[in-house]
Copies of this chain bind each other. A is one copy, B any other.
């Protein structure tokens, strides 16, 4: 399957084999950077950044220039029409008629999907809120591959902000797909991996979470192949780490370990900084288990990565940043169809792709994530709420835009009440009826009052269990 004319919104948009193809082309290009200056000659990239960024934007713009193409860019939301209340979809249509490819960063989660849906040209997600940032993931995986030859079987510790860090979410799915052996979670306090990410890991990538107490963060006592550190944004500096979750994906099993809170009360020692965020220091790297560990970071860093290790041969973060250019060159060239690669046939797929039933109606439940693109005032005229039904007990929906989950409490069937007003009844979502109503007939409500406002009356199954 060719990559030409496709978009990259989440890392799942690329198969493992397609990712490998991007890596091969990046290798080829970085070996002869000077010879790429005609690959995308005459091609125009629109670079639309509705959030601050230096390195990601400059890296994309450097990439298209190295390929001989050009850029039109809108950097500051204040300087654009969006300030006038225009919808993202309208903007995507117009800019898609100017440029050959669009790179978009936006604070709303799911915004890149909307742009891809309407632009008519390939779209690359350069970060949408705390949702995904798939090209960063490509750079991360590429660095792992370059330094370790293969990703399969590696043992990787993820440190810091695992909750809001979009780079982490894209990365963890990709690591799972590439059969990494074990992932250790070392989050700051209150910065644990969100439940919808864990669900996806266990449900779609077939693992088991395993939880066990450890003495202190990163006191793993086992060989680690890579440490991936995330930036501690200033507003998070006051947070204290108190949780460690280890995920083990060896032989299809995932384990989660929860660090006992009482054990990390004294956080002013060891690898834990006074600001309460895991810090990678020269001292930490003296540990035996880190002898061959590479240290990765998406940059920019604050204090979580000491300058003293910059010269250490295990430090990879500046190499990682530099590799952003050839990786993005390869990706852009492939999406524009300016380069073609043989994509090898997939072996047995690592990740189980589940065809969840879809819930899509004009009325009823809306995504409850306040940063989701689907509920923004300017977007609702275009976008209808749409969910995957990822579980029935309890009823759980995943927004197709931001991938946040909702557990709605009331349902009805569009089949049962046709013509008959008396049969227009709503039920509790935890009743047995949830399983009985066919997905295409399901109506899901945000609340009891919404159900009533739409003319439904409580059935005998309308009371929630335990009430």
Contacts and interface: CB of A to CB of B under 8 A. Distances in A.
Given A91-B54, A97-B325, A72 B61 contact: yes
A83 interface: yes
Interface stretch (A9-17, A18-26, A74-82, A284-292): A74-82
Contacts of A95: 54-55, 58
A198 interface: no
B53 A81 contact: yes
Interface in A14-59: 34, 37, 41-42, 44, 46, 49, 52-55, 57-59
B44 A307 contact: no
A117 interface: no
Given A98-B59, A300-B90, A53 B80 contact: yes
Contacts of A147: none
A318 interface: yes
Given A62-B44, A307-B382, A322 B97 contact: yes
A220 interface: no
A443 to B, nearest CB: 24
Nearest to A45: B65
A76 B90 CA distance: 23
A167 to B, nearest CB: 14
A299 interface: yes
A401 to B, nearest CB: 18
A93 interface: yes
A234 interface: yes
A81 B52 contact: yes
A86 interface: yes
A84 interface: yes
Nearest to A44: B65
Given A84-B233, A233-B84, A58 B322 contact: no
A78 B52 contact: yes
A301 interface: yes
Copies of this chain in the oligomer? 3
B81 A300 contact: yes
Contacts of A41: 37
Nearest to A323: B97
A301 B61 contact: no
Contacts of A212: none
A369 to B, nearest CB: 23
A74 B58 contact: yes
Contacts of A74: 54, 57-58
Interface string A220-247: 0000000000010110000000000000
A381 interface: yes
A279 to B, nearest CB: 12
Given A76-B79, A94-B322, 11 more contacts: A42-B68, A52-B78, A54-B91, A55-B81, A55-B94, A58-B72, A76-B76, A81-B299, A97-B321, A98-B322, A98-B324
| Chain A to chain B: the 4 pairs with minimum beta-carbon distance, closest first | A97-B322, A86-B300, A62-B98, A54-B80
